[in-house]
Amino acid sequence: MSIPPPTTPSAAPSVTPKPATLSHRLEYAGARVAVFALGLVGWRAASWVGGLIARLVYKPIGIRRGVVERQIAAAFPELTPAEVEQVARRSYDSLGRTSIETAVLPGASRAEVLARVERVEGWELVEAALAKGNGLLIVTGHLGNWEFGGAYFAARGVAIDVVTRGMANPIFDAYITRTRRQIGMEVIHDKDAVRRTPRSLRDNHAIAFVSDHDALGLASTFVPFFGRPAKTPRGPAVFALRFEVPTVFVGVLRQPSGRYAILIEPVEVERTGDRDVDIDAIVLRYTQILERLVREYPAQYFWQHRRWRRQPPDTPPHLREP
């Protein structure tokens, strides 16, 4: 699941993929070897290795350590420096586990995917939406294992499309697309989303968006996230209004057992007649759901991304990027 399309019928500018370089090929080859090796040791061992590598990236290597710690401290000002460091270390562990679990996911059977879920809350919302026959919009964030959510929906027999942005490495991008399809997800690149989304909804598909990271070229709005204005994609809100499609937020959270809890709740869609106001209100609602879950599972959020990097020019100094 990835970044949503823009708000108008004009999609983000299409960029011609660059030819693969030697560096791209080496990167791809290394990743394939690592995935093959980790696939041999099993899900739990592979997850542990991913966490270990990521913890080393945090300390002693220190990649993005300052960004992570500053953002956690800003979001949770009540935490002591030691507690901030603990959450940061665990967030790297979570990201490493998510990355490796996702990489080895294509080797899992439908039964294995279903067995990795400890509990599901709100599945009746999915069934009720799809029973109407005009599709379902899913919004999620970079929390827990967002990629596993798509695999779980597919394993439950839901036709699910995921909206993604292309990667810089064209070989790796094609590989990720193939693996998502192997898991049971259809891929819609963001530049095609405006054209393909109506067709998928008519076919009663669920369409999933990761909607908590801003990106250049995508229509966004500023809504508060932990009290600071955060530029947030508005694509799901636009589609929800335009096509009158049920919309849910899905959180996929790793539990102490190593399995997942999948939490599904509705995103309220109201129409006041003012389109821009209605869109902003929907974006705010799914951002508020995400924030509530991040407060409950702070170590499973992707703090490595600079969430408040882009802000309105009149943002007060104390609310700017930490």
pLDDT of residue 28: 56
- The predicted model gives 218-247 an average pLDDT of 93
What mean pLDDT is predicted for residues 211-238? 89
- Which residues pair with residue 231 across a beta bridge? 222
Q: Note the pLDDT of residue 39.
A: 72
Secondary structure (DSSP) of 203-223: TT-EEEEE-SS--TTS-EEEE
State the pLDDT at residue 267.
97
Least confident interval from 24-28, 227-231, 273-277, 303-307: 24-28
10 pLDDT above the threshold of 60: no
CB atoms within 10 A of CB 116: 21
Tokens matching residue 145: 């294992």
**Predicted local distance difference test score (pLDDT) of residue 51:** 93
The predicted structure's pLDDT at residue 253: 98
Strand partners, 140: 210
C-beta of residue 208 within 8 angstroms of C-beta of residue 149: yes
Q: Mean pLDDT, the chain, as a whole number?
A: 87
Report helix, strand or coil for 231: strand
Residue 1 pLDDT greater than 60, yes or no: no
* The most confident of 10-14, 242-246, 296-300, by mean pLDDT: 296-300
Give the CA angle between residues 232, 89, 47 to the nearest 5°: 90
Judged by average pLDDT, the poorest of 23-27, 46-50, 176-180 is 23-27
What is the average pLDDT across 25-41? 68
Q: What is the pLDDT of residues 61-98, one digit of tens each?
A: 999 999 999 999 999 999 999 999 999 999 999 999 99
Per-residue pLDDT, averaged over 207-212, amounts to 93
Residues with Cβ within 8 Å of residue 292, at least 6 apart in sequence:
none
Q: Which residues pair with 228 in a beta bridge?
A: 225
> Which residue carries 């879920």 as its tokens?
117
0.85 exceeded by pTM: yes
Of the pLDDT bands very low, low, confident and very high (cuts 50, 70, 90), residue 113 is very high
Average pLDDT over residues 136-161: 94
Spell out the domain ranges in the chain: 22-319
Q: What's the CA gap between 249 and 23, in Å, rounded?
A: 38
Residue 310 pLDDT: 93
Please state the rounded mean pLDDT for residues 154-165. Answer: 90
Start-end of H helices in 42-169: 43-56, 65-75, 81-104, 110-115, 123-131, 146-155
Cα–Cα distances in angstroms (integers) from residue 2 to residues 26, 150, 184, 234, in the given order:
25, 11, 16, 13
Confidence of residue 41 (pLDDT cuts 50, 70, 90): confident
Contact 67, 112 (CB under 8 A): no
Residue 276 has pLDDT above 90, yes or no: yes
User: Following DSSP, what letter does each residue of 237-285 receive, concatenated?
Assistant: HHHHHHHT--EEEEEEEE-TTSSEEEEEEE------S-HHHHHHHHHHH
% pLDDT > 90, the chain: 66
Q: Which two three-digit tokens encode residue 175?
A: 């590989």
Handedness of CA 161, 162, 163, 166 (dihedral sign): negative
- Phi, psi torsion values for 223, nearest 5 degrees: -130, 155
The count of other CB atoms within 10 Å of the CB of residue 28 is 18
Mean pLDDT confidence for 140-148: 94
Tokens 């967002």 sit at which residue? 146
Identify the pLDDT of residue 7: 32
Contacts of 193 (CB under 8 A, 6+ apart): 4, 5, 11, 163, 235
Q: Give residue 172's pLDDT.
A: 63
What's the pLDDT band for 147 if we cut at 50, 70, 90?
A: confident
Under the banding of pLDDT at 50, 70 and 90, the label for residue 3 is very low
Burial bucket for residue 120 (CB in 10 Å: 0-12, 13-18, 19+): middle
What mean pLDDT do residues 221-228 have? Answer: 96
Measured in degrees and rounded to the nearest 5, phi and psi for residue 208 equal -110, 140
